[in-house]
């Protein structure tokens, strides 16, 4: 029986980078977590331990810091492209470099004072190989809630079903979303991200939801209708259940006012919305 090496990659994960640009007394703060994954002709190190073709992960970490100092950071899509192209172009054996960047938000308190903002994180994943570059922007942890205009009924019932029909419910989720750009060139990554995020939110707000699946589709559809530079949107939407509390034992009614917010278990709705003429996106759902 022959034993062969399957698909493999390696890199430095979760490099923490804080970059401060000092414009006189007014500073600009960028807080990133950067992960690098490299793939190519690396079979020897797996089979025999020969590291002659291996760029140490410590060197990859140092490259992240050096590039921030030498070139600045700017938009995270541009930063990811610079890094990924560097690794492919500088390392003869590397045929694919993937750089995943998370940007953590800070609210300005003064000229050089900041407070960490909420759980929402902006993301970018850049993959460079011999055929070109693919840029995927996105966000995680965008918490949204509609306190009405949400229903769920008409579903399958079997002997284990106890869930009642809901004609007016709270709909809450924490959006993990990613969207693929048509090209790796952009004059304004920041505007593209801001507008894509705005359309996700506006679709959530404006959709009278009969299911979270319907809401997911509406959110992706709106982004594609308004942002021609984006060809596919993928989302993972946990249903953050809010259950009506039974107040009858206390002699009180509860006209959809008091809820128990359950953190688990939860429904998880995932899906992609894309242009029908867009090239297939072969990467796995949440591959860094």
- Give dist(CA 177, CA 231) in Å, integer: 14
Catalytic one of 45, 57, 95, 140: 57
With b for 16 or more beta-carbon neighbours within 10 A and e for fewer, the 60-96 pattern comes to bbebbeebbeeeebebbbbbbbbbbbbbbeeeeebeb
Options 100, 181, 199, 241, the catalytic residue: 241
Q: Which residues pair with 94 in a beta bridge?
A: 40
- Reading the block at residue 134, the tokens are 């693919």
Q: How far apart are CA 45 and CA 41, in angstroms?
A: 10
- In angstroms, the CA 67 to CA 83 distance is 8
Hey, is 57 helix, strand or coil?
A: helix
- Rounded-to-integer distance, Cα 259 and Cα 243, Å: 5
d(CA 225, CA 47): 49
Is 120 within 8 Å of 139 (Cβ atoms)? Answer: yes
Q: Rounded CA gap, 61 and 65, in Å?
A: 7
What does the DSSP 8-state code read for residue 232?
Answer: E
Structure tokens at 178: 């990613």
Residue of 12, 100, 199, 242 marked catalytic: 12
Phi, psi for residue 123 in degrees, rounded to 5: -135, 160
Active site residue 53: no
**Residue of 31, 30, 33 whose CA lies nearest to 13:** 33
Residues noted as catalytic: 12, 57, 241
């Amino acid at each position: 029986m022959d034993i062969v090496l399957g698909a493999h990659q390696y890199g430095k994960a979760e490099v923490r980078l804080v970059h401060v640009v000092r414009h006189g007394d007014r500073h600009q703060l960028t807080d990133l977590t950067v992960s690098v994954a490299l793939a190519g002709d690396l079979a020897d190190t797996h089979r025999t331990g020969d590291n002659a073709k291996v760029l140490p992960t410590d060197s990859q970490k140092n490259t992240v810091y050096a590039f921030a100092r030498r070139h600045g950071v700017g938009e995270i899509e541009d930063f990811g492209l610079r890094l990924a192209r560097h690794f492919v172009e500088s390392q003869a054996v590397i045929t694919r470099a993937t750089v995943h960047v998370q940007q953590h938000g800070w609210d300005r308190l003064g000229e050089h004072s900041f407070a960490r903002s909420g759980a929402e994180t902006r993301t970018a994943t850049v993959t460079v190989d011999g055929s070109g570059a693919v840029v995927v922007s996105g966000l995680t942890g965008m918490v949204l809630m509609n306190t009405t205009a949400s229903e769920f009924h008409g579903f399958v019932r079997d002997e284990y079903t106890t869930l009642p029909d809901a004609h007016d419910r709270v709909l809450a989720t924490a959006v993990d979303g990613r969207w693929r750009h048509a090209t790796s060139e952009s004059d304004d990554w920041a505007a593209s991200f801001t507008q894509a995020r705005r359309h996700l939110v506006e679709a959530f707000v404006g959709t009278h939801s009969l299911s979270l699946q319907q809401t997911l589709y509406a959110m992706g559809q709106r982004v594609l209708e308004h942002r021609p530079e984006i060809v596919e949107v993928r989302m993972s939407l946990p249903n953050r259940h809010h259950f009506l509390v039974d107040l009858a034992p206390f002699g009180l009614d509860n006209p959809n006012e008091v809820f128990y917010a359950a953190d688990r278990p939860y429904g998880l709705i995932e899906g992609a919305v894309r242009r029908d003429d867009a090239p297939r996106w072969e990467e796995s759902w949440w591959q860094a």
